[in-house]
Amino acid sequence: MRVGFHAPDTVEELAYLVAEAADTRTPLEVMGRGTKREVGRPVQYGAVLSTESLIGIPIYEPSELVLVALAGTPLAQIEQALAENDQELPFEPVDLGPVLGFGPGQATIGGVIATNLSGSRRILSGSARDHVLGVQAVNGRGETIRAGGRVMKNVTGYDLGRALAGSWGTLAVMTEIAIKVLPAQREVRTVLCFGLADQNGVEALCLALGTPFEVSGTVHMHAELAECFSDQEIANAGASVTAIRVENFPASARYRSSRLKQMLQAYAPALELDTLRSRIFWNEVRALKMFQKADRPLWRISTLPSTAPKLIHSLARKIDVRVLYDWSGGLIWLETPPISDAGAVEIRRNLAEIGGHATLIRAEASARAAIDVFQPLDRPVMALTASLKQAFDPVGILNPGRMYPGI
Amino acid sequence: MSHIALPSPDLAILQRRNDILKQLKKLVPGAILITDQEGRRTFETDALTAYRCLPLAVVLPQTTEEVSAILRFCQENHIKVVPRGAGTSLSGGALPLEDAIVLCLTRMNKVLAVDLVNRVARVEAGITNSSITDAVAADGYFYAPDPSSQIACTVGGNVATNSGGAHCLKYGVTTNNVLGVRIVLMSGEIVDIGGPSLDPAGYDFLALIVGSEGQLGIVTEVTVRLLKAAEGARPMLMGFESNEAAGSCVAGIIAAGIIPVALEFMDRPAIHVCEHFVAAGYPLDVEALLIVEVQGSEDEIDTLLEKIGEIAEDFNPTMMRRSGSAEESAKIWKGRKAAFGAIGQLSDYYCMDGVIPLSKLPKALDEIGWICRKYRFDVANIFHAGDGNLHPLILYNANDPLQLERVELCGAEILKLCVELGGCLTGEHGVGIEKRELMRVQFSDTDLSQQMRVKAAFDPDWLLNPGKVFPLEGIGLQ
């Protein structure tokens, strides 16, 4: 197989290339536009296989809440098509481009699903993977397979589509994805508390999630991160920021934010953002604006809200960390100093005690070569991981070694 | 017996039955072992009652370790295992095999932990679906998937078939509400997949396990998401002169940006049967009825129902009635939930579970009517309208073997139609044995081979719930 960059514009050609790579045992770097190609263990590939030329939206039925897109379709194009019909991607995918040295809005839908990138609304609407209704993909044998479909409910056969979400291109190359979409929210309200310590901030967020008001965003961050926001009242507060979002029809959103403020009185809610200011704020959260400047390692940690402050407190005693709590603390974006292990030893030692897992999203290649980028797995899960890889990609040519050695 | 064949039993296993039972008894003295014919008779079928088969034996373990010991023993002795919860599968997913042990999880029915701060609960797989909500309802929380069989069916069975329910338009199905499982592989290995946090580490095995119909492993514990209940909920009835008008109204509601918590559709025969059975207050002079339910505060509910009413006006409703009280709401839902029972009073019925894209609704209902007439059956349609999940109930006489055969052909034709219209064979009941041979209508051999390779990655010897999901002749060819 020819070394270099391949971006086939038909699925047939893509399948042919994969089959050829399987024959010649050529390891392929599988990607969309490559905005996240620096995430993972550094590996030598024989050729690059990109889905960036598979562009288009063959099916979009707003009244059925279904959109089918070719994998290389830019997210921006999909979001524009949705916006024209007052709809949106419910899982509000985080835009990793800017923190990884790319422009905003460049990711492809294939890349977003392959990495299961969900944003703040995940707590209400579910993850990227939850919205996958079906896929077409090319497995490591070069066979084109379909799984799932284009309807909302489907238990016909195994759910291979959702299983490909979060597999980082190591099982199959997705070529087409059917996703569930939802009506866009008309009115957005954000209730803000300032100056809460982490423990109290997370408490307030958990309290908000325990209300019936369909809270769709819960973040908490220290003052130094809040400075980056373009909303001056937030940037200049000089205090930690705890933000809670509700979205709905106008009257409902207003009613719900006012009830939330009452319920959060102990935490002294000080500011409420209207729709426009809310949109700007949450878009900046979505683009991880607070982590765009620094060239420090960036981690994504999944844990439980109730233990998140303890984890950070414990880490902060050993290393200098900058922290964004999302999902009420269930998701932590963490910047660490540029030390040789990017803080991996401390992070994973603490997670082993407290529970949760961590993925290194941004770091020098040397650091990514030296430590586990993805969370090490227990022996039985690792064994299943190897079996599943074998079931999809028996020769091991699709992003081999990117997640785990030998996978 | 009808035309769906079961795999031929392994005679060597049947001959060794006494020896196997003796060893099992020694292996798990704490488990209940049912070996006599009368006892096994209880487990010979599930809710697809046309098919029956006496298993080798039935084991009811009480711990994950017992499950592990049984599976390891069965793997070593090449004995097949059929997992079972409450046996409410409508597709024959829990149908025993003559040479298989049925492993029934209903004694493992405890709530292990409730964590309201993080909004998760860990339960044993044999607990009933509604018991989870019962355990947290006092604090205002609930577990969202609500299949019609929820007072009987187990959460382990829900995981196996990725169960939905009337409220999944808003809250999603089982796969969207389960965060982790403890699963025992056929080798006896106990594996924890996922956990209480919202994202998995590594591959999303949970996506594969949910909906795998008990073919990848036996789930013994499940970690579920809990949600806070809404302030209130209220349904509204809307009657239409045609199925098409009702279908267009559903599309209109969604296009207006409203996602009701439930959007149920009944056609004329279904309305009449339900109304006569429970006097729910349904109008009898309409062709199609929608039950639309919204949630929120009283004001929010009023505003939303108002808006939905305005949208419906465009489709010439012949009646609209908002529920005025909790009693009226309960009555409206009682009619819908009693639908299967009501029809069951009239006749045996064959319940289908196809899914279609919503825009194809009028065409689908027309064609279903035509297909049923061709086979000389009456049909009543009940339908989760928001997500296109059809439940045609075909009325027939189960004691007439010719009718049974004909009704299966009729059902198969309906499901083929669903696939042709861009939908799928099953939305929430599972493939089981029932739709096994139809899988080729929806999938190519390459697609099925990939699924079977996944099965083999978990269970290389194909001992777990074999003979289900995949066309019989294809097994082992992957």
CB contact burial B279-293 (16+ within 10 A = b; e otherwise): ebebeeebbbbbbbb
Do A75 and A159 lie in a common domain? yes
- Each of the 478 residues of chain B gets a pLDDT tens digit; together they read 356 888 889 999 999 999 999 999 999 999 999 999 999 999 999 999 889 999 999 999 999 999 999 999 999 999 999 999 999 999 999 999 999 999 999 999 999 999 999 999 999 999 999 999 999 999 999 999 999 889 999 999 999 999 998 888 899 999 999 999 999 999 999 999 999 999 999 999 999 999 999 999 999 999 999 999 999 999 999 999 999 899 999 989 998 999 999 999 999 999 999 999 989 999 999 999 999 999 999 999 999 999 999 999 999 999 999 999 999 999 998 888 888 888 888 899 999 999 999 889 889 999 999 999 999 999 999 988 888 999 999 999 989 989 999 999 999 999 999 999 999 999 999 999 999 999 999 999 999 999 999 999 999 999 999 999 999 877 655 5
Total count of domains within chain A: 4
- What 3-state class would DSSP assign to B155? helix
CA–CA separation, A332 and A308 (whole Å) = 8
Neighbours of A133 (CB within 10 A): 23
Residue B325 burial by CB count (10 A; 0-12/13-18/19+): exposed, middle or buried? exposed
Cβ separation of A391 and B230 shorter than 8 Å? no
Nearest-CB residue to A160 (from B430, B450, B458):
B450
The set of residues, in sequence order, having a beta carbon less than 8 Å from that of B304 and lying 6+ positions away, is: A249, B258, B260, B294, B296
Cβ separation of B425 and A156 shorter than 8 Å? yes
CA–CA separation, A177 and B330 (whole Å) = 40
CA distances A357 to A224, A349, A354, B21, B197, Å, are: 25, 10, 10, 43, 9
- DSSP class of A9: S
| pLDDT at residue B1, as a whole number | 39
Instruction: Quote the minimal CA–CA distance from A233 to chain B in Å.
Output: 30
| pLDDT at residue B296, as a whole number | 95
| pLDDT at residue B9, as a whole number | 94
According to CATH, where is 3.30.465.10 located in chain B?
111-228
Instruction: Quote the minimal CA–CA distance from A232 to chain B in Å.
Output: 32
Q: Which residues of chain A have pLDDT under 70?
A: none
Nearest-CB residue to B228 (from A130, A158, A210):
A210
Is A298 domain-assigned? yes
Question: What CATH number is associated with residue A343?
Answer: 3.30.70.260
Q: Domain B111-228 carries which CATH code?
A: 3.30.465.10
CA–CA separation, B79 and B75 (whole Å) = 6
Here the tokens at position A349 are 């030692």
The topology under which CATH files domain B347-436 is: Alpha-Beta Plaits (3.30.70)
**pLDDT per residue over B426-443, tens digit each?**
999 999 999 999 999 999
Do A208 and A251 lie in a common domain? yes
Q: Domain B11-104 carries which CATH code?
A: 3.30.43.10
Collect all residues of chain A within an 8 Å Cβ-Cβ radius of residue B454. 158, 160, 163, 388, 391
Q: Domain B233-339 carries which CATH code?
A: 3.30.70.2190
Of chain A, the percentage scoring pLDDT greater than 70 comes to 100
Do A213 and A198 lie in a common domain? yes
Collect all residues of chain B within an 8 Å Cβ-Cβ radius of residue A147. 447, 450-451
Do A115 and A139 lie in a common domain? yes
Is A401 domain-assigned? no
> Which of A114, A116, A36, A37 lies closest to A28 in space, CA to CA?
A37
> Which of A24, A1, A29 lies closest to A13 in space, CA to CA?
A1
Those of residues 18-57 in B touching chain A at CB distance below 8 A are: none
Do A223 and A148 lie in a common domain? no
| pLDDT at residue B383, as a whole number | 87
Dihedral (CA of A161, A165, A171, A174) sign: positive
Question: What CATH number is associated with residue A69?
Answer: 3.30.465.10
| pLDDT at residue B475, as a whole number | 67
Those of residues 321-340 in B touching chain A at CB distance below 8 A are: none
Collect all residues of chain A within an 8 Å Cβ-Cβ radius of residue B201. 302, 357, 374-375, 377
Cβ separation of A157 and B442 shorter than 8 Å? yes
Which chain B residue is nearest to residue A131, measuring alpha carbons? Answer: B176
Q: Does B409 touch chain A (CB under 8 A)?
A: no
Long-range pairs for A123-126: beta carbons < 8 A, 24 or more residues apart: A123/A209, A123/A215, A123/A216, A123/A217, A123/A218, A123/A327, A123/A328, A123/A330, A123/B198, A124/A214, A124/A215, A124/A216, A125/A90, A125/A91, A125/A92, A125/A182, A125/A216, A126/A90, A126/A91, A126/B172, A126/B176
Do A95 and A177 lie in a common domain? yes
Cβ separation of B431 and A155 shorter than 8 Å? yes
Do A277 and A209 lie in a common domain? yes
Nearest-CB residue to A186 (from B192, B251, B257):
B257
Cβ separation of A163 and B358 shorter than 8 Å? no
Do A263 and A285 lie in a common domain? yes
Residue B472 burial by CB count (10 A; 0-12/13-18/19+): exposed, middle or buried? middle
Instruction: Quote the minimal CA–CA distance from B213 to chain A in Å.
Output: 9
- ipTM of this complex: 0.97
Is A113 domain-assigned? yes
| pLDDT at residue B362, as a whole number | 86
Is A376 domain-assigned? no
Do A175 and A80 lie in a common domain? yes
Is A377 domain-assigned? no
Do A351 and A339 lie in a common domain? yes
| pLDDT at residue B476, as a whole number | 57
**pLDDT per residue over A71-87, tens digit each?**
999 999 999 999 999 99
Q: Which residues pair with B33 in a beta bridge?
A: B59
Instruction: Quote the minimal CA–CA distance from B128 to chain A in Å.
Output: 21
Q: Does B448 touch chain A (CB under 8 A)?
A: yes
Residue position matching structure tokens 């998140």: A308
Collect all residues of chain A within an 8 Å Cβ-Cβ radius of residue B426. 154-156
Is A395 domain-assigned? no
Which chain A residue is nearest to residue B301, measuring alpha carbons? Answer: A252
> Which of B145, B201, B154 lies closest to B178 in space, CA to CA?
B145
Q: Does B192 touch chain A (CB under 8 A)?
A: yes
Cβ separation of B207 and A163 shorter than 8 Å? yes
Cβ separation of B197 and A356 shorter than 8 Å? yes
Cβ separation of A157 and B357 shorter than 8 Å? no
Q: Does B427 touch chain A (CB under 8 A)?
A: yes
Do A177 and A191 lie in a common domain? no
**pLDDT per residue over A314-365, tens digit each?**
999 999 999 999 999 999 999 999 999 999 999 999 999 999 999 999 999 9
Is A404 domain-assigned? no
- What 3-state class would DSSP assign to B114? strand
Instruction: Quote the minimal CA–CA distance from B119 to chain A in Å.
Output: 8
**pLDDT per residue over B171-224, tens digit each?**
999 999 999 999 999 999 999 999 999 999 999 999 999 999 999 999 999 999
Those of residues 77-116 in B touching chain A at CB distance below 8 A are: 115-116
| A351, amino acid identity | L
Host domain of residue A8: 4-51
Is A246 domain-assigned? yes
Residue position matching structure tokens 């279908």: B247
With beta carbons less than 8 A apart as the criterion, state whether B20 and B77 touch: yes
Cβ separation of A183 and B258 shorter than 8 Å? yes
According to CATH, where is 3.30.70.2740 located in chain B?
347-436
Q: Which of A118, A158, A399 to mutate to test the interface with B (most CBs of B within 10 A)?
A: A158
| Helix or strand holding residue B368 (H, E) | helix B361-374
**pLDDT per residue over A241-255, tens digit each?**
999 999 999 999 999
